[in-house]
Amino acid sequence: MKQTLPSLPFQTGWYSFGLPGYRSCRGTYERYPYESLPPIAQEQLTGQLQWLVPLNARIDEAMQPYRLTDEQEAAQITEWEDGLKSLVASAKHLGLSLPEAYLRLMSSVELRNRIPSCTDCSFTISQLAFCPGDREKGYVLRFLHDQQDCVIWHLYLSASGEQCVLASHVYLDQVYTNPEAFGLLTEDEAIKHTWMCAPSFEAFLYRFWMENVLFFALIQKEPLTEEQKQYLSTRSFGGSGNQR
Amino acid sequence: METPTLEAIEARKLLLSGQAPAHLRVNGDLDLSHEVSLTVLPEGLNVGRLVLDHCPALKALPAGLHCISLSACGTPLTELPDDLHVTSRLDLSDCKLLTHVPKGFAVDTLILRGCTALEELPEQMHVFVLDMSGCINVQRFPTSGPEQMARLNAQGCTRLTALPSWLKRVGQLDVSGCARLHELPEGLHVVTWLDLAHTPLRQLPASLQGVSLRWRGVAVNERIVFHPETITTQQVLEERNVERRRVLLERLGYERFLAETQARVLHRDRDAGGERRLLYVPLQNDEPLVCLEVRCPSTGRRYLIRVPPTMRQCHQAAAWIAGFDNPEHYRPLVET
């Protein structure tokens, strides 16, 4: 099934980093044209995250200092679980379907730890909020942050089953309720700082995982898997987006 | 006639001199806050963001005012013009004399925090965020309004008895301190969180089951809110999150906590009610819990009042409760 982006008032673009030898980057991130992204085999996006295999030992070791300690993990587990329960209840009341891949990932520390990040991004549990630019029927759910909040990723959902991932420079879930945090940003301004970057949660996650694993593999000069080679071979990686 | 257009810096001088022409269009934003001499603005003023906070002589806004956002906190405004046009945000916090907002008023964010003279909200208002916290004289909502809001903050609206039936979905709902709010409407959906501290609510309607709850801003679960009797002293002591521990402590009750933890007596003396004691319990990674235990001279009832952890004597604590920094100055003639 070909996944398409919903009709929303946002531009499209993929925020990511350089891939040594394949794609340049003029800052920590660059916004690459959505149309230029390598295709993803849709049949593997089953909601089961079966493609999210354990990291190889070298990448796993490289990520270890950036993960929560067992003690930190234990300290936040109750809050995380309570947050997820509330989110599921809220989604149910609103007639929204949380993607299976989202629920699976957010319910498992082990799965989350299989996604490395070369820019120290981390997953978070937040609550649903009205989507700027689509407040009548759309909701956003913030789920991933860059360490310095350069980019914040949100899942978009609607009661009619539409889904996509939005990358933004602002917390979209706080545009209406905490505008002071962003210099009294208006809804229109928030829309201008937001890009649709994937047609589904799992499509986003797959690409995010793929590019991060590739980054480490290329840096560490590891042999690439067939899947990784195919990803890199499907287009010429020449960044032409805007610097961030 | 040509509409005069000025840059903000020139417009500011003209506005403060009282010489600004009608229908002035300003390029940019204007901050006229704390301008004591500002009494009037020209009709038809058109500006991006306009700040008029704490202008003590500004008693009215002009007709035909257009802006993206307007902040007029702490001004003596009593009403808003019917043709006021603010698209994004109108902040009227602490406009203590405000009594009237026009029917059908439309703005994305309307802040009426601390507008204590306001008794009624406008009919058919179109707002997406409404902060009416501290509007202690608002008793009810109008008969019509928006079906959904990103946020409704009714914190401390102590006379409010019900939420509106027209509101179906709200992102963040804060009804903490609404002491007369006994129930929430069935069919209301809260998207993000509901803060219901210090309300007489005893249960949630089916449409709110499982929703994320807060107690004075702290994330809590239904058990803490509706079944505080199940909270144990051990749970309070083991809670690592300081904010959450304070909520647990409040819900458990200081009295039970002090009794079950065998609080240390820091000091004891006598007042008109009989013996009073200053009790102390150390808390991990937090300031200790120090409470003054007193008896009411009239009813004989025992009360526990939390005081700062620096208190060492009963009289010092009683003086602090009465608002005295220096205990020497606290010499009550009669206590009832």
What are B119-151's pLDDT values in tens digits?
Answer: 999 999 999 999 999 999 999 999 999 999 999
Contact yes or no for A129 and B150 at CB 8 A = yes
Same domain, B200 and B294: no
CA distance B333 to B324: 15
Q: With respect to residue B126, please indicate whether it lies within any of the assigned structural domains.
A: yes
Once rounded to an integer, what is the mean pLDDT over residues B177-199? 95
Q: Which of B215, B230, B245 is the last residue of a domain?
A: B230
Percent of chain B with pLDDT over 90: 71
Whether B297 has a pLDDT exceeding 90, the answer reads no
Range with the lowest mean pLDDT among A160-169, B38-47, B55-64, B283-292?
A: B283-292
**A128:B193 CB<8 A:** no
In a domain, B335, yes or no: no
Q: State residue A208 phi and psi, 5-degree precision.
A: -60, -45
> Would you say residue B336 has pLDDT above 80?
no
> Of A79, A86, A129, which is closest to B171 when you measure between CB atoms?
A129
Closest by Cα among B190, B223, B160 to A78: B223
Q: Is residue B336 part of a domain?
A: no
- Do B268 and B291 touch, CB atoms closer than 8 A? no
* Tokens (6 digits) for B44: 């038809």
> How far is the C-alpha of B62 from the C-alpha of A3, rounded, in Å?
53
Same domain, B62 and B128: yes
CB contact under 8 A, A79 and B129: no
pLDDT of residue A241 exceeding 90 = no
Least confident of A36-40, A89-93, B181-185, B286-290: B286-290
Region of residue B311 (left: phi > 0; alpha: psi -120 to 50; beta: else): beta
State how many domains chain B has: 2
Chain B residues with CB-CB distance to A184 below 8 A: 49, 69, 88-89
User: What span, in angstroms and rounded, lies between the C-alpha atoms of A15 and B114?
Assistant: 43
Tell me: do B135 and B188 sit in the same domain: yes
- In terms of residue numbers, what domain contains B302? 233-329
**Res B73 pLDDT > 70:** yes
pLDDT tops 70 at residue A242: no
Quick check: A176 and B49 CB within 8 A? no
B147 domain-assigned = yes
Whether residues B64 and B93 fall in one domain: yes
| Residues B76, B194 share a domain | yes
Do B211 and B287 share a domain, yes or no? no
Integer distance in angstroms from the first to the last C-alpha of chain A? 33
- Using alpha carbons, select from B171, B169, B130 the residue that is nearest to residue B147: B169
CA B105 to chain centre: 22
At residue A56, the 3 state secondary structure works out as coil
Choose the closest CB to A85 out of B68, B69, B210: B210
Tokens encoding B277: 């004691």
One domain, residues B180 and B141 = yes
Q: Which residues of B touch A83 (CB under 8 A)?
A: 212, 219
Q: Please state the rounded mean pLDDT for residues A15-34.
A: 92
- Given B230, B252, B268, which residue is the final one in a domain? B230
pLDDT at B2: 67
Residues B223 and B268 occupy one common structural domain? no
Residues B104 and B213 in one domain: yes
Residue A243 has pLDDT above 50, yes or no: no
pLDDT at B66 over 90: yes
Let me know: does A116 contact A59? Beta carbons within 8 Å: yes
Which ranges constitute the DSSP H helices of A94-123?
100-106, 109-113
Cross-chain residue pair A94–B210, CB shorter than 8 Å: no
- B211 Cβ partners below 8 Å, 6+ apart? A86, A89, A90, A93, B190, B193, B194, B204
Nearest CA among B270, B306, B310 for reference residue B291: B306
Final residue before a domain boundary, out of B182, B214, B230: B230
- Helix, strand, or coil here: A197? strand
CA dihedral of residues B102, B108, B112, B117 (deg, nearest 10): 10
Is A176–B151 a contact, with Cβ atoms under 8 angstroms apart? yes
> B206-245: per-residue pLDDT in tens?
999 989 999 999 989 899 999 999 999 888 877 877 788 8
* Co-location of B255 and B152 in the same domain: no
Q: Is residue B72 part of a domain?
A: yes
Rounded to a whole number of angstroms, the distance from the CA of A106 to the nearest CA of chain B is: 17
DSSP helix/strand/coil, B289: strand
